Amino acid sequence: MKIAVLVSGGGTNLQAIIDGIDNGSITNTEICLVFSNNPNAYALERAKKAGIKAVAKSPKEFASRDDFNAALLQILEEAAPDLVVLAGCLVVIPKAVVDAFPNRIINIHPSLIPAFCGTGYYGLKVHEKVLERGVRVSGATVHFVDSGTDTGPIILQKPVMIQPSDTPEVLQKRIMEQAEWKILPLAIDLIANNRVTVANGKVIIEDYDKLSY
């Protein structure tokens, strides 16, 4: 399975995918492209170090957002991935891209959807709101991307307990380490091995009860 990974920042989720392919925990998968809307994203360095084709196009390089969106669609159509992975991607995915890859785009979100998600909930902001609300548990979610924001069918989730001493930064790091970097590679491996289907907006995973994560 060919995957294109879209990134905007540090790329630790991309690194988890690269490492998963290298150590065999992700099978039948190759990364054919890493794309970033942020030319300064360290994720691009990670791709280059791993010998993966890396492309960066900032929306600022284009006359309009529509032009950027058209360029993004063209780049993805040329790469022709079987799956598009949003790994810390902070650009809104245009409808034309969602339509071109129905149930073939997945996203990692740093909360237990439907809590603390949707417009404005990204990066550290998610964890700030979690601590502000005083919930006892948060975590991460991998879901298919549909035309909404963080609204597509849920594939995997993993809970992480909140500690009283948590700051947004400490919580973000623990959720990345204990949840994101585990369920995103696992979701990719499941999809690469045809164990994931979507029916009536719900995800069915073959032998789900045998999974431990």
Task: Give me the active site residues, please.
Answer: 109
Q: Which residue, 124 or 211, has its beta carbon nearer to ligand GRF? A: 124
CA–CA dist 192, 186 (Å, integer): 10
The number of residues that bind ligand GRF (CB under 6 A) is: 15
For the window 135-154, what string marks contact with ligand GRF as x by the rule CB under 6 A?
--------------------
40 touches 118 (CB < 8 A): no
162 touches 202 (CB < 8 A): no
Interaction between residue 123 and ligand GRF (CB under 6 A): yes
Stretch that binds ligand GRF, among 4-12, 75-83, 96-104, 199-207 (CB under 6 A): 4-12
Binding residue for ligand GRF (CB under 6 A) from 117, 155, 180, 196? 180
The closest of 78, 4, 82 to 43, measured between CA atoms, is 4
The full DSSP string for 6-59 is EE-S--HHHHHHHHHHHTTSS-S-EEEEEEES-TT-HHHHHHHHTT--EEE--G
CA–CA dist 60, 57 (Å, integer): 8
For the window 36-75, what string marks contact with ligand GRF as x by the rule CB under 6 A?
-------x--------------------------------
Interaction between residue 34 and ligand GRF (CB under 6 A): no
Pair of tokens at residue 179:
């949840």
List interacting residues with ligand GRF (CB under 6 A): 7, 9-13, 43, 87-88, 108-110, 123, 176, 180
